[in-house]
Amino acid sequence: EVIMVDSKTEYSLNSPPEDGITAVKFAPNSNQFLLASSWDCNVSLYDITNNNLRLKYAHSDPVLDCCFQDAVHSFSGGLDCTLKMFDFNTQTGN
């Protein structure tokens, strides 16, 4: 059984990454927020409902994957051989 929550299946982002996107993930329990990692060395958090870039954080080399830990934290890793945890509320990473 397939349940469609939202009939919109394609989005055009304002302020998209400047190079190839390597991963996209929707926030847990919500289709409002989208996390995208990219070859441009950044991880971007988008508000799909309002079509804006909420925040962006950088790695020193291209980012190959990203995920949400929960509604306010993400993890990302890439060619800089680091795994970053980022807190959206404080806008800080480890």
Cβ atoms within 10 A of the Cβ of 76, count? 24
Extents of the domains making up the chain: 21-93
pLDDT at 2: 45
| Cβ contact 24:13 at 8 Å | no
Identify the band that residue 7 occupies on the pLDDT scale cut at 50, 70 and 90.
Answer: low
pLDDT at 6: 59
The answer on pLDDT for 82 being more than 70 is yes
- Domain covering 21-93 in this structure, CATH number: 2.40.10.480
Share above pLDDT 90 across residues of the chain, in percent, rounded to a whole number: 77
pLDDT at 12: 80
The answer on pLDDT for 81 being more than 90 is yes
